[in-house]
């Protein structure tokens, strides 16, 4: 199989990227600076992420399409305003998640941003639901994120008025006579924007951002940033066998849809009424030891009560951090648990997410 490259591949190479294969794409895991520095650059200044491997699906708007999409997404699309975005899930019959996604209502179409590893499967599900076999991902577009406190000013200098956007809202803009679409959103816990733009202007756009003080950041730091922000990574923290309720993402199910019909809704409704047996929580080891994915979690009596789904070292909180599923009886904040790492039991505590909050960290933690 041919490894795919994004439109920014040559630029990544010019910036000394180390590449890894991710979902069939050759993607930068880090650049010369390294993961910790790239993480801190994003938290303190501004970082640019190439996320063009993600799927960009555009579906023509109609009332019928809205109805059909509501059958597979637990989101109130009827009250979604033009240029408004929502975090949602492509639902499975068992209440599990085929993918998590961002759906934006544009003027005459929906834009749906899908995970790279899931996008082909997602496309088939959506095609079947909409009964439209001609539907396809737009491969002529790149997707760039710019994240961090200085991003607003930097992007404003390239795309005027962009700083007026509200969180989870988007708008059309132009760059070098090309139409681009920008939303105020991201995956780092920082203020930031995501830009959908034609491949042919992608490199010059990113070079403009770099020349104004932003820096290319790899997937390695993207992972430490999102984990500190308590955000889920599909295929790890959520999958086809975890429901949004178990994943502690009930907030993303629109309130007026809970009693509505969508795929998996019966299971969701039951879980909301009767509770769940396992829940996704934050976990903080008491030492610096890292509890990576699949680390077993035990209670004080040595009963296995769960598993870690993501774990790393959080540079901004200067501590080992993890999240995972734990039996509901042990999911309360500050519950003492034990993580089995290399045969030893490491004490840890269930904690609230996110690990990192902008307002909280400012002035309290050295980053």
Interaction site with another protein (CB under 8 A): 29-30, 34-37, 220, 224, 288-290, 292, 312-313, 315, 320, 342
In whole angstroms, the minimum distance from the beta carbon of 313 to another protein comes to 4
Cα separation of 254 and 251, whole Å?
A: 7
Q: Closer CB to another protein, residue 41 or residue 90?
A: 41
* Distance from chain centroid for Cα 200: 26
Burial class (CB in 10 A: 0-12, 13-18, 19+), 168: middle
Instruction: Give the count of beta carbons closer than 10 Å to the beta carbon of residue 255.
Output: 9
In whole angstroms, the minimum distance from the beta carbon of 366 to another protein comes to 12
Which of 57, 153, 167, 142 minimizes the C-alpha distance to 106?
Answer: 57
For residue 299, what are the CA distances in angstroms to 247, 266, 329, 362? 20, 32, 10, 34
Q: Closer CB to another protein, residue 188 or residue 312?
A: 312
Widest pairwise Cα distance in the chain: 65
Cα separation of 353 and 230, whole Å?
A: 5
Which of 100, 120, 140, 113 minimizes the C-alpha distance to 24?
Answer: 120
Report CA torsion sign: 12, 183, 223, 51. Answer: negative
In whole angstroms, the minimum distance from the beta carbon of 217 to another protein comes to 13
Q: Quick one: tokens of 247?
A: 């994943």
Q: Closer CB to another protein, residue 69 or residue 341?
A: 341
Q: Closer CB to another protein, residue 242 or residue 312?
A: 312
In whole angstroms, the minimum distance from the beta carbon of 19 to another protein comes to 14
Cα separation of 144 and 49, whole Å?
A: 6
In whole angstroms, the minimum distance from the beta carbon of 2 to another protein comes to 24
In whole angstroms, the minimum distance from the beta carbon of 311 to another protein comes to 10
Q: Closer CB to another protein, residue 35 or residue 283?
A: 35
Length of the chain: 367
Q: Closer CB to another protein, residue 205 or residue 355?
A: 355
In whole angstroms, the minimum distance from the beta carbon of 285 to another protein comes to 10
Q: Closer CB to another protein, residue 47 or residue 315?
A: 315
**What angle in degrees, to the nearest 10, is found between the helix axes of 119-130 and 63-72?**
130
In whole angstroms, the minimum distance from the beta carbon of 312 to another protein comes to 6
Cα separation of 105 and 109, whole Å?
A: 6
Cα separation of 210 and 213, whole Å?
A: 5
Cα separation of 180 and 159, whole Å?
A: 10
Q: Closer CB to another protein, residue 39 or residue 184?
A: 39
């Amino acid at each position: 199989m041919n490894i795919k490259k994004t439109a920014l591949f040559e630029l990544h190479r010019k910036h000394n990227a180390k590449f890894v294969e991710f979902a069939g794409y050759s993607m930068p895991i880090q650049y010369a600076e390294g993961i910790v520095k790239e993480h801190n650059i994003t938290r303190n200044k501004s970082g640019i992420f190439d996320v063009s491997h993600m799927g960009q699906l555009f579906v023509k708007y109609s009332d019928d399409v809205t109805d059909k999409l509501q059958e597979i997404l637990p989101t109130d699309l009827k009250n979604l305003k033009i240029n408004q975005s929502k975090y949602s899930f492509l639902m499975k019959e068992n209440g599990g998640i085929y993918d998590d996604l961002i759906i934006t209502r544009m003027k005459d179409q929906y834009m749906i941003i899908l995970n790279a590893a899931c996008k082909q499967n997602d496309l088939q599900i959506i095609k079947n639901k909409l009964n439209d076999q001609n539907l396809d991902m737009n491969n002529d577009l790149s997707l760039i994120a710019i994240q961090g406190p200085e991003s607003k000013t930097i992007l404003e200098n390239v795309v005027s008025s962009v700083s007026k956007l509200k969180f989870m809202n988007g708008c059309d803009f132009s760059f070098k006579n090309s139409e681009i679409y920008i939303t105020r959103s991201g995956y780092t816990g920082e203020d930031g924007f995501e830009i959908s733009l034609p491949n042919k202007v992608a490199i010059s756009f990113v070079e403009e951002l770099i020349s104004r003080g932003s820096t290319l950041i790899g997937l390695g730091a993207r992972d430490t940033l999102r984990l500190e922000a308590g955000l889920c990574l599909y295929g790890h923290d959520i999958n086809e066998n975890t429901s949004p309720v178990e994943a502690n993402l009930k907030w993303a199910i629109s309130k007026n849809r809970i009693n509505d019909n969508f795929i998996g809704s019966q299971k969701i409704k039951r879980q909301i009424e009767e509770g769940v047996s396992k829940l996704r929580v934050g976990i903080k080891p008491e030492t610096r030891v890292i509890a990576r994915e699949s680390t077993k979690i035990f209670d004080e009596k040595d009963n296995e009560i769960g598993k870690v789904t993501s774990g790393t070292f959080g540079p901004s909180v200067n501590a080992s951090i993890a999240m995972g599923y734990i039996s509901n009886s042990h999911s309360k904040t500050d519950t003492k648990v034990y993580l089995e790492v290399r045969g030893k039991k490491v004490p840890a505590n269930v904690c609230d997410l996110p690990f990192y909050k902008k307002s909280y960290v400012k002035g309290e933690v050295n980053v």
